[in-house]
Amino acid sequence: MVISLMRFIVIILLSLITLTQAYIVYADNESKGSNIDNKEIEKAVFAGGCFWCMQNPYDELKGVVSTTVGYTGGHVGNPTYEEVCAGNTGHAEAIEVLYNPSQISYAELLNVFWRNIDPTTLNRQFADVGTQYRTAIFYNSEEQKQSAESSKLEMERSGIYDDPIATEITPASTFYRAEDYHQKYYEKCPLKYKMYKSGSGREQYLEEMYGN
């Protein structure tokens, strides 16, 4: 009986030690994650028409920490999807990309942006028409602005497009997160997503222009 009791006490003590060690490791990891967020993670914001089609290309990239689709560039606070679609908020459907610049550069993010849009249409992307579907690069720093302008100039000189590039480069403003059902729509509703991307003409254009 005494031996069984001692074994029980030993087991309890070992369990407490294990839990304590696990907590220390967890806290250490949390601290490291917080340091990365504060010191290394940067933000990029792009508008490329329907935001459903802009999230998957960035989610696949090494160095991208997270992506969020939402609305930005307008004058209405906390807009709903319906309000933005009505075209009266001034907002564009957009994507916010958090990335680690030590693993992927802003220039690489810009390259992905160009290869997933038609930059020559003003206030339109494929079947979607209106200012809410304009293409835009919202820069968060002077360095991002210069990179965006250089990238745009490079695309203009590439000879890929028959028409002038209409994509705007503008300072970033408040980014409003879209409703949950829009986040990673390509995963939540893969069939509807594929039907939309093909039916809108985006898929065919990207394949023809860039071989996507």
> What residues act catalytically?
50
Distance in angstroms (rounded) separating the CA atoms of residues 138 and 80: 20
Q: For residue 44, how far is the Cα from the chain centroid?
A: 8
Tokens of 212: 């996507």
Are 54 and 116 spatial neighbours (Cβ–Cβ below 8 Å)?
yes
| Cβ neighbours of residue 148 closer than 8 Å, sequence gap 6 or more | 110, 137, 139, 169
Cα angle: 93, vertex 73, 108; to 5 degrees = 65
Q: Where are the alpha helices (DSSP H) in 91-199?
A: 106-114, 142-157, 185-188, 190-199
Tokens of 47: 């508008």
* Structural element, H or E, at residue 25: helix 2-39
